[in-house]
Amino acid sequence: MSEKNKKMFSRIASYYDKMNSILSLGADAKWRAEAARECMLSRRPIMVLDVATGTGELALAINAEASKRGKRVIIDGIDFNEDMLEVARKKLHQKAIKNIRLQLVDALSYSSDNAFDVITSGFALRNFDSLEKFIGVTYKLLKSNGKVVFLEVAKPESKFIDFFRFYYFKVIPVIAARYNKDAYIHLVSTAWEFDKDRLIRMMKSTGFTNVKVKNLSWGAAFILTAWKRGKKASK
């Protein structure tokens, strides 16, 4: 990710979670819980890479879902921003969680081929300098029959689009002015412009199979799942 994005996330790290809740009208926790359920494979343990883990909310949701099901999960959370990771470290310390390991590293330079059963990312795809390169790296990092679970926001595809347009571009700038207006206008704009169809084409052309998209909250967010070769593993 660019140096500009790195500085932006540093400025908003301390209230990133709060603003995510505001931006999503409180739905972001449910979205992450749904993504976490998609990560629950039959393998023991489940090795997960959470890319752009940020403040660790998706990694924590995956860990909570695994605990609920009595599954063992080991999560490597990587991010390029130290300030975001520091927020995540405090959460892990407070909860005494040892099986989530955090590392400061850019996803595009991460090297550990065929190492993970699941690769996840929450709200990060639209911020990569090269989404195509990231998808290629993801393919290399996954084990055979590994699964991708991407959670992202996008332009809603529903009759409520006028409501979302008003909320995103009229209401949110007013709320965000208390925090960092420019950063949140950027995040909303990139969500509105994100091309899901292009993402699907990239996944398929890279070699992923069984690529599926599940819309959430009238299309305001979505979960993309896909597999690296082989048939779908049972849950």
Task: Read off the pLDDT of residues 119-166 as tens digits, 9 standing for 90 and up.
Answer: 999 999 998 989 999 999 999 999 999 999 999 999 887 788 999 999
Give mean pLDDT, residues 207-232. 90
Among 32, 83, 104, 40, CA closest to 61: 32
- Helix intervals (H) in the chain: 3-12, 16-23, 28-38, 57-69, 82-95, 131-141, 161-166, 172-176, 181-193, 196-206
pLDDT of residue 22: 85
User: Comparing C-alpha atoms, which of 68, 62, 131 is closest to residue 99?
Assistant: 62
Residue 43 has pLDDT above 90, yes or no: no
Lowest-confidence range among 11-15, 28-32, 92-96, 207-211?
A: 11-15
Closest CA relative to residue 203, chosen from 183, 227, 223:
227
User: If you average pLDDT over each of 18-22, 45-49, 190-194, 215-219, which comes out highest?
Assistant: 45-49
Higher-scoring residue by pLDDT: 229, 148: 148
Q: Which amino acid is at 50?
A: D
**How confident is the model at residue 1, as a pLDDT?**
62
Q: What is the pLDDT of residue 233?
A: 44
**Is the CA virtual torsion 116, 117, 122, 127 positive or negative?**
positive
Tell me what the mean pLDDT of segment 51-75 comes to: 97
Give the whole-number percent of the chain exceeding pLDDT 70: 97
- Per-residue confidence band for 187, with pLDDT thresholds at 50, 70 and 90: confident
Asked whether the whole model's pTM tops 0.85, one would answer yes
- Neighbour count for residue 102 (Cβ, 10 Å): 20
Under a CB-based contact definition with an 8 Å cutoff, are residues 148 and 208 in contact? yes
d(CA 75, CA 78): 10
- The rounded distance, in Å, linking the Cα atoms of 66 and 37 is 8
